[in-house]
């Protein structure tokens, strides 16, 4: 092959190569991490141009479908913390995001679903000032002080079934009152938008302020066995006339050796409508550690 022919082959290959600049999004840990990295970049800039979006994209905020161009994802944010679950079994991710900007603080829980290298769904749950238990400085403090690192040995990692079972047992206890079926771990700390249960002692427990008679409904999960984590998108109550508020909610769990270690919750419910104020959120767990 002479040099002129070789140069033409190289040049032709360059012309045919993809020019989108998207990271390789795929249903692998690396590919899903690429998707979350692109999401964080998009949320930081408030610009979705860098996201490889599928035709017919589904965009949802707080359990309501909407036009992505009108969504919170188009608002630029200075992100202080983010942590992602990567679910290779269902090609989904979940990213916890904390923005402590005094003018526009937010806590977000964002789910992505990847389909053949494109993002097919974006679902976001958010809270901000005036919503149930929101205290962004406290949430940032506790979220960044906890160890959510990979479970070091694969043999010690809980199965997907164990992680989902632990999450369901916790959420079922709100309706059934059967707290003895929950795999409580010690210490365990729960953070609700900033309100926190633990005191930094070995006997810290998440078994505090858990009401009964509330149906945690409409659940769907993202699971990361490597991280020992599972998140449930759900509604706090079924949303019926006698079924509680039906407020959009996420419950994020860290599980170690089959036992609950950390619980983070976000609820899209105005504080004015919360428990003790005559609103539809009656039955929500009380504010722990005297944090009101």
For the stretch 207-264, pLDDT in tens is 887 777 889 999 999 999 999 999 999 999 887 666 566 899 999 999 999 999 999 9
Distance separating alpha carbons of residues 106 and 80, to the nearest angstrom: 10
CATH of 29-128, one of 3.40.50.1980, 1.10.287.70, 3.30.565.10, 3.10.450.50: 3.10.450.50
The pLDDT of 82-109, averaged and rounded, is 97
Say which CATH topology domain 144-290 has. Answer: Nuclear Transport Factor 2; Chain: A, (3.10.450)
Q: How far is CA 26 from CA 5, 35, 52, 93, 289, in A?
A: 35, 8, 11, 11, 43
At 276, list the tokens. Answer: 């003790």
Q: Place 11 in a pLDDT band, splitting at 50, 70 and 90.
A: very low
- Using alpha carbons only, give the angle 109, 256, 266 rounded to the nearest 5 degrees: 20
CB 242, CB 231: distance < 8 Å? no
Q: Domain-by-domain residue ranges, the chain?
A: 29-128, 144-290
Q: Which long-range contacts (CB under 8 A, 24 or more apart) does 95-101 make?
A: 95/36, 95/39, 95/40, 96/143, 96/252, 96/264, 97/40, 97/43, 98/136, 98/139, 98/140, 98/143, 99/136, 100/136, 100/137, 100/140, 101/77
The pLDDT of 189-205, averaged and rounded, is 90
Distance separating alpha carbons of residues 85 and 83, to the nearest angstrom: 7
At 206, list the tokens. Answer: 């998440």
In this structure, are strands 216-224 and 195-196 parallel, antiparallel, or unpaired? unpaired
Of 227, 251, 221, nearest to 157 by C-alpha is 227
pLDDT tens digits for 267-281? 999 988 865 443 333
Question: Would 29-128 and 144-290 be classified into the same CATH topology?
Answer: yes
pTM (2 d.p.): 0.86
Q: Place 10 in a pLDDT band, splitting at 50, 70 and 90.
A: very low
């Amino acid at each position: 092959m002479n040099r002129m022919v070789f140069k033409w082959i190289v040049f032709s290959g360059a012309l045919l190569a993809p020019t989108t600049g998207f990271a390789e999004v795929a249903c692998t840990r690396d590919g899903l991490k690429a998707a979350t990295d692109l999401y964080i970049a998009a949320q930081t800039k408030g610009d979705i141009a860098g996201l490889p979006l599928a035709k017919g994209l589904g965009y949802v905020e707080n359990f309501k479908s909407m036009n992505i161009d009108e969504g919170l994802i188009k608002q630029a944010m200075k992100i202080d913390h983010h942590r992602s679950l990567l679910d290779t079994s269902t090609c989904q991710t979940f990213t916890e995001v904390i923005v402590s900007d005094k003018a526009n603080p937010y806590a977000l829980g964002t789910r992505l679903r990847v389909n053949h290298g494109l993002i097919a769904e974006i679902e976001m749950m958010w809270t901000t000032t005036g919503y149930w238990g929101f205290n962004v400085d406290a949430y940032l403090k506790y979220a960044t002080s906890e160890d959510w690192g990979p479970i070091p040995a694969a043999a010690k990692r809980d199965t997907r079934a164990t992680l989902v079972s632990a999450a369901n047992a916790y959420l079922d206890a709100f309706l059934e009152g059967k707290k003895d079926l929950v795999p409580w771990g010690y210490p365990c700390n729960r953070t609700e938008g900033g309100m926190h249960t633990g005191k930094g002692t070995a006997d810290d427990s998440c078994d505090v302020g858990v009401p009964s008679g509330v149906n945690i409904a409409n659940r769907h999960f993202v699971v990361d066995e490597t991280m020992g984590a599972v998140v449930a998108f759900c509604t706090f109550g079924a949303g019926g006339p006698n079924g509680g508020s039906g407020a959009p909610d996420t419950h994020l769990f860290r599980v170690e050796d089959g036992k609950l270690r950390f619980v983070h919750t976000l609820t899209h419910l105005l504080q004015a409508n919360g428990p003790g104020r005559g609103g539809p959120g009656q039955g929500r767990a009380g504010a722990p550690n005297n944090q009101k």
